[in-house]
Amino acid sequence: MADGGRYLDAKQGAAAEAEQAARAGASSLDISQLHAGDVAVDPASAVTTAESFMVTAGRPGTAWVAGNTVYAQINYREPTQLLDLIGVTSLQITVTESATDISGVTSEG
């Protein structure tokens, strides 16, 4: 079905964009924490960076931070073509992806 394929493509594309946005946000490190020798995400900067990435990518979304993990969520409706004939004009696309900054993490052998 054409609409089913479009839905899967749209969801996969949105997931890739949310993942990239989360990664971009996770790279926003707290400078004061770095000076103290700790690696930590700057929550305000991470949210701004992730949300700006999503806007630039064409699918605005919402970002938030929990610990050193940045979450990015994209939520929108994808228009249908064939299902429109029976009154289903769009399908809901919702994806949430996350990224954690692990720079500075080392393993000891």
**Rg of the Cα atoms in the chain:** 18
pTM flag (> 0.75): yes
Give residue 79's pLDDT band: very low, low, confident or very high (50, 70, 90).
very high
Please state, in angstroms and rounded to a whole number, the distance separating the CA atoms of residues 25 and 43. Answer: 9
Report whether pLDDT(108) > 50: no
Please state, in angstroms and rounded to a whole number, the distance separating the CA atoms of residues 33 and 82. Answer: 54
